[in-house]
Amino acid sequence: MDEIEVPQYFICPISLQIMKDPVTALTGITYDRESIEQWLFNNENTSCPVTKQLLPKDSDLTPNHTLRRLIQAWCTQNASLGVERILTPKPPLDKFQVIKLLKDFGNPQLQLKTIRQLELLAAEKERNKKCLIEAGVPKAMFMFILSCFRKGQIDEGLEEALSLLHFVMVPEEEVKLLLAKNDQILDSLTWVLDCEMENSIAVKSHAVFVLKSFVQKAKSDVLQRLKLEFFEKIVKILRNGITQQGINAALQVLLTACPWGRNRHFMVEAGAVFELIELELDAPAEKRTTEFILEILFHLCSCAEGRARFLNHRGSIAVLTERILKVSPAVDDTAIFILSAISKFSGTQMAVQEMLKIGTVTKLCMLLQADNATYLKDKAREILKAHSDAWKDSPCFPGSSFYASLH
């Protein structure tokens, strides 16, 4: 095959492979359908890869039947030389085919089969996901989940419905519309988190992913109405454990809700501070997980109750100290700001001595000597200065010249 000269106009400009389903864009350039659809789906500012002219995401792609027949004929002629024959492609999926499938979904006996068909279509091509959204698949899946929630019953197909929603990625405008018309959607998703079922970890992970998508796209008034029970169920998921990706999604849900003081109060009341520290202590996870955990703890330590819960955990300052200069600059920033809040507003004698005992003071001094941003060094210096009188006689504290420089 490598020795055969392939006509240049048979080659897709994106994949650089022989086109199986050539389509012509509005700019007049022909691409393989799968390559250009993936290009348009995955890029925010979509432009023609060859001409650089703007192409809308819903750009018309005209099948180039003549070129496809030429390619097929050439492949057949060269089959004896190892060239793979190219079959005539199936017509692309359209929303009317999906609407027909959704009618079958209304029949309880066909629900599971229909959802599985929709999942296969979503997995087949990026373009298919767009058809599913246009045909109203996300709304149909949410209505199904809501029905299960209202009955308090796990119907067959619930796992597949959540998996499909996770896979399809519902657009922001549709999320806002669904939340405006169905105020129980978030309740139904957190209900799933509390259910016991087969394949529980996978189902709950999918539910958390969908919940994260909705929370991140929701309007602020929706986030301001979240209830204590909502946070209790998220915290319970962190306590009981799901997949690593699911944990990250749950952490992102909490982080998105953090800007509102009412939500922070609910998180503290739900036991989030303890569970976050436990999560970080149990298994020092990937960098992004640690960053999420510390960002949430920073928000929760902005209130007195949150700081009290933080200090009540015997491993809190130790795990914070251990992560400094070991994970990422973002973790260094957040850890120092948490320590600053503790130092300034909750710097009890016990907390101050704990910082000396477990090496926090040493880490702060190391941070001053490392290549860090000026504002971060200033924060570290501020903490050292605030408690230098309590630490100055310790062998862990630098010499008298350093002590003098703080004052």
Interval 274-318: pLDDT, tens: 999 999 988 656 889 999 999 999 999 999 999 999 999 999 999
In this structure, which long-range contacts are made by residues 25-34, counting pairs with CB atoms below 8 Å and at least 24 apart in sequence? 25/55, 25/59, 25/61, 26/55, 26/59, 26/60, 27/51, 27/53, 27/55, 30/64, 30/67, 31/61, 33/61, 33/63, 33/89, 33/92, 33/127, 34/125
Q: pLDDT-based confidence at 400, cuts 50/70/90?
A: low
Helix intervals (H) in 54-107: 65-77, 95-105
Q: Is 281 helix (H, G, I), strand (E, B) or coil?
A: helix
Query: Residues of the chain with pLDDT > 90: what percent?
Result: 37
What average pLDDT does this structure show over 105-132? 85
Contact 337, 375 (CB under 8 A): no
Dump pLDDT digits (tens) for 231-251. 999 999 999 888 888 999 999
Whole-model pTM: value is 0.78
In whole angstroms, give the CA distance from residue 351 to residue 11.
Answer: 68
Kindly tell me if the per-residue pLDDT of 152 is higher than 90. Answer: no
- Higher local confidence (pLDDT), 255 or 325: 255
What average pLDDT does this structure show over 214-226? 89
Q: pLDDT-based confidence at 23, cuts 50/70/90?
A: very high
Identify the CATH assignment for 8-81 out of 3.20.20.80, 1.10.1670.10, 1.20.1730.10, 3.30.40.10.
3.30.40.10
Q: pLDDT-based confidence at 356, cuts 50/70/90?
A: confident
314 DSSP assignment: T
Residue 407 has what pLDDT? 53
DSSP notation for 139-197 = HHHHHHHHHHHHHT---TTHHHHHHHHHHH---HHHHHHHHHH-TTHHHHHHHHHT---
The domain limits of the chain are 8-81
What average pLDDT does this structure show over 261-276? 96
Kindly tell me if the per-residue pLDDT of 162 is higher than 70. Answer: yes
- Higher local confidence (pLDDT), 58 or 186: 186
Q: Is 18 helix (H, G, I), strand (E, B) or coil?
A: strand
Residue 402 has what pLDDT? 56
Residue 283 has what pLDDT? 66
Residue 44 has what pLDDT? 66
Q: What are phi and psi of 23, to 5 degrees?
A: -130, 150
Q: Is 30 helix (H, G, I), strand (E, B) or coil?
A: strand
In whole angstroms, give the CA distance from residue 374 to residue 286.
Answer: 27
Contact 274, 267 (CB under 8 A): no
Q: What is the mean pLDDT of the chain?
A: 87
In whole angstroms, give the CA distance from residue 386 to residue 295.
Answer: 24
Cα 114–115–119 angle (5° rounding)? 120
In whole angstroms, give the CA distance from residue 319 to residue 165.
Answer: 36
Q: What are phi and psi of 74, to 5 degrees?
A: -65, -40
Token pair listed for 74: 């050439």
Q: pLDDT-based confidence at 338, cuts 50/70/90?
A: very high
107 DSSP assignment: S
Of the candidate ranges 55-59, 214-218, 359-363, the one whose mean pLDDT is the lowest: 55-59
- Higher local confidence (pLDDT), 330 or 369: 330
Dump pLDDT digits (tens) for 67-98. 999 999 999 888 888 888 887 787 778 888 88
Residue 252 has what pLDDT? 96
Alpha carbon distance, N-terminus to C-terminus of the chain: 77
Find all residues with CB under 8 Å of 391, minimum gap 6, and list them: 352, 356, 361, 384, 397
Q: pLDDT-based confidence at 398, cuts 50/70/90?
A: low
Contact 293, 258 (CB under 8 A): no
Kindly tell me if the per-residue pLDDT of 153 is higher than 60. Answer: yes
- As a dihedral over the C-alpha atoms of residue 211, residue 216, residue 217, residue 220, rounded to 10 degrees, the angle is 110
In whole angstroms, give the CA distance from residue 330 to residue 396.
Answer: 26
Greatest Cα pair distance, the chain, in angstroms, is 89
In whole angstroms, give the CA distance from residue 378 to residue 384.
Answer: 10
Find all residues with CB under 8 Å of 380, minimum gap 6, and list them: 336, 364, 367, 368
Query: Residues of the chain with pLDDT > 70: what percent?
Result: 94
